[in-house]
Amino acid sequence: MFVIPTEPIGSIPRPLELVEAMSASPDPLAPNLEAAYDAAVSDTIARFEATGSPVISDGEQRKNHNFWTYGVQGLPNTAADGFKIPFTAGHTRRMPRLTAGPFRYRLYADRYLAVAKTYATRPVKQAVISPSALSLLYPDAGLPNYPREQFIHDLLREHEREVRGCLDLGAHCVQIDFTEGRLAVKLDSTGALLSRFIELNNLGLARFTAEQRTRIGIHTCPGGDRDSTHSADVDYAELIPSLLQLEATNFYVALAGEPDRVRVLKLLRQYLRPHQRIFIGVTAPIDPLIETAQVVCDRVLEAARYIPLDQLGTTDDCGFSPFCDDTSTSRDVAFAKIRARVEGTAMAAAQLGGTA
């Protein structure tokens, strides 16, 4: 039977009880959060598996604050006035700023994976943040006695430790979140910032073998928070040629929310390399309309006209709640969209089976 692989991106809206508990205890390692974390992870995994999804995540329930700073939140050598991400809804999200060296993660994502695997009966993927995103913690003015070169050395070491820990624990795959890729083009139209990001992330990927990189992927999207984005107005043509130069195997590309999907698919076909697989987004988390399985099927069939079947997969455009306090999408809607993705992908695979 011909199968098109399908995977989630990661985050699921947290139960209100967990959101309230995290708001009252902003330290992600606060002991009083453990019961709320565990209840949320257990329920999330049970509901994930009920959708029929062949690969699941823990919904990032234990990532207090957000997908970007989970590993560094609460470090004593950071301040709150770091890099700002502006969203089209009019709000901003702010990242920490490093105030002194050395740079170390406070916690690693394999901690989340270990807990998820105690509940899951299906393969679990683990999302981690990219080195390029965390590079924005370092201030433009530099730091006394801690040059940027040393920071990058420490950053790559910590990134390697996190990814390797997840691989060693048996993650189905490790997804490196690279939402800042498209944003980099918006911040610097010369392309220099994006080039630096690609180079830095490739330095991280170079620390793994070719076999290990078959279980490593890159996620790109225009951001998603409170039903808005930070860089959907950036032309994918400015990102995709560089994106597919990353030395990963799997690429999770937001597509469902694009106004001209065919144009993006043609770009992906042009730059796709033989060893790479493209998981196209077939559901749009920030769209309140729940896609039907038929809508998903039609999107997969459309993509199959441009992407070789043995290099095609499906996913969601983005996580459903990358920032922990975002309740603009309900858990019920998130899982309904995931079920549609799973069922619609299977419908398309059945139709395409004779041509595979």
Please give the Cα distance from 24 to 257 (Å, whole number): 34
Across 282-290, average pLDDT? 95
What fold, for 16-355? TIM Barrel (3.20.20)
Tens-place pLDDT, residues 150-188: 999 999 999 999 999 999 999 999 999 999 999 999 989
Q: Which residue has the tokens 């694009």?
A: 258
141-151 pLDDT, tens digit per residue, is 999 999 999 99
Answer yes or no: is pLDDT of 232 > 80.
Answer: no
Tell me 227's DSSP state.
T
Nearest CA among 112, 109, 161, 105 for reference residue 134: 105
For residues 128-136, average pLDDT:
97
Better pLDDT: 31 or 6: 6
- Full DSSP string of 269-317: HHH--TT-EEEEEEE-TT-SSPPPHHHHHHHHHHHHTTS-GGGEEEEES
Interior angle at CA 355, CA 351 and CA 356, nearest 5: 100
Q: Is the pLDDT of residue 354 over 90?
A: no
Structure tokens at 199: 């180079």
CA distance 78 to 98: 4
pTM as predicted = 0.95
Which strand ranges, in their side-by-side order, compose the sheet holding 277-283?
126-129, 174-177, 216-220, 250-253, 277-283, 312-316
Strands (E), the chain: 78-79, 84-86, 92-94, 97-98, 126-129, 174-177, 216-220, 250-253, 277-283, 312-316
pLDDT digits (tens, 9 = 90+) for 179-227: 999 999 998 989 999 999 999 999 999 999 999 999 999 999 988 777 7
Res 231: pLDDT: 75
Closest CA to 226 of 169, 186, 285, 280: 285
Give me the residue spans of the domains in the chain: 16-355
Phi, psi of 9 (to 5 degrees): -85, -50
pLDDT at 356: 47
- Percent of the chain exceeding pLDDT 70 equals 99
- For 114, phi then psi, to 5°, come to -60, -40
Q: Cα–Cα distance between 351 and 348 in angstroms, integer?
A: 5
Q: Is the pLDDT of residue 94 over 90?
A: no
pLDDT band at 355 (very low <50, low <70, confident <90, very high): low
The helix (run of H) or strand (run of E) holding residue 239 is: none
**Average of pLDDT values for 244-264?**
97
